[in-house]
Amino acid sequence: MKLGIARKGIDMVLYRKPTVRTRLALLAGVLLLASAGIVTTQNASAREGAKAKDLKLRVDEQAVKRDVNLRASFSPIIKDVTPSVVNVFTSTKPKRIEGMPGGPGGPFGNNPFFREFFGEQGQGRPMMTPRQEGLGSGVIVTEDGYILTNNHVIEGADAIKVALNPEGKEYDAKLVGRDPKSDIAVLKIEADGLSAIRLGNSDGVEVGDVVLAIGNPFGVGQSVTMGIVGAISRAVFGRPSGLEYEDFIQTDAAINPGNSGGPLIDSQGRLIGINTAILSRSGGNNGIGFAVPVNLAKSVMESIVEHGRVVRGFLGVNIQDVTPGLAKEFGLKEPSGALVAEVTARSPAEKAGVKSGDVITQFDGHEVRDSRHLKLMVGQVAPDKQIALALLRDGKSKNLEVVLKETPENSNPGVRRGGPRGGGGSPAPDSGGLQGVVVGDINPQARQQYDIPRDVQGALVTEVEEDSVAWSASLRPGDVVREINRKPVRDAEEAIEAAQELENARILLKVWRGGGNRFVVVDETKRK
């Protein structure tokens, strides 16, 4: 009998910038972090005994005045703000590397060419990496010297200096703490009576608002550019390694290497974002720049100062966006909210009664647009706080109360987002449901190859035809089919039996992939 799904046995970052030796460096690529220079990674200790109450911030969260004509000059605003903007200089010491490239300790020790080039006596000699310098910007947020900048500006630096504007007076800066997950870092200089910028409310920013970017692009000196907000709550492609919380403000105000860590301000001179990255193929500004919203940066800073680290809320769910196909399967009127693919055992979500297949529509009274939005909201809530959840289960509304915990150390965030993964495919039988899909049982070799936990049961996808509907739906080799139309399957045989009656049907699969579960809709009615 031909089946659409067949069985087969199994035998089985950080965008790294180029090294620079000067403060004037160009960056090239698709997504660039807007700082000139690179440094190697190292951990930094937090400021001992610091408390959030030490942060005497100037906050002005009133809505921007949008009912006035564009002013002829922003000079008064710039004169007020630029003393708050600083230049950040970093340096790394030369590091000793044992073994010349052609020596026994080097990477080419057995290569005759390198042995001849370096000579027998040159083998094993230590090498020194060159001294590296980097350049970025920052913004003073308190009169006693707390400064916001980007993590990638100072990451790995052995020494950090800050130069004030316009007099150029330099200070040694201490790294209070950094957060690669949001690309925010907090510095402190020993000074008083500094000009601190006013903090606005980034949640009130709207597309079309006039904004100004200030920084030290290419090391030419402090510069100001103007543009508008092109988009809000933006995620970016090619993001740096370690970046997990993306909620960027997009702007066409010119941002270039050296602008990283500098302020993006509104038309009234209030800080609304920290300039971070540009989308560029040339290395320079192409009109698409990104800034971390000040509300997110402020939350990270306050946690670092008070706790010495970033303390984030933990819900304990693996979530994914709701596609139009999933919305139809789960009885939703529109594709919005965050679909729960998996609930972590003994997590706050499990204790509150959240189940796989629920669609979270509101968190703490705020609408949930998608999985990334929920992740951001959970991460900014303090642990042990009780939060109201609104969700849809089997098309019916349900309200729950959940008490968040702290995100476990060295773990994924409190919510994890599922996503597609690449893979290959090969022919399979072409009748029945799930055409072009080949499955097998999960044996020890398969568990090792695909890193499948022991408690994950189901049918392992071994082949998917690249021109099949299943491939278009993102099903890939290495996925484990755990449910077919909400019916659990324990092995390949059960998956084949469940697929026999599904020809020309819409099929909802629950699959394990890369460490978590997610839902996939395979619409066989669209079969060519």
CB 165 within 8 A of CB 87: yes
Instruction: Kindly write down the DSSP assignment for every residue of 63-92, as one continuous string.
Output: PP--SSPPPS--HHHHHHHGGGEEEEEEEE
Phi and psi dihedrals of 389, rounded to 5? -115, 135
Chain centre distance of CA 387: 24
Give me the residue label for tokens 């937090």: 46
CA triplet 234, 31, 291: central angle to 5 degrees?
40
CB 435 within 8 A of CB 472: no
User: Where are any strands of DSSP class E within 364-436?
Assistant: 366-367, 386-393, 396-403, 405-406, 415-417
Cα atoms in the Cβ-side hemisphere of radius 13 Å centred on 509:
30
User: What CA–CA distance (Å, rounded) separates 366 from 378?
Assistant: 11
List the catalytic residues.
152, 183, 260
CB 439 within 8 A of CB 463: no
Three-state secondary structure string covering 170-226: EEECEEEEEECCCCEEEEECCCCCCCCCEECCHHHCCCCCEEEEEECHHHCCCEEEE
CB 299 within 8 A of CB 49: no
Chain centre distance of CA 152: 13
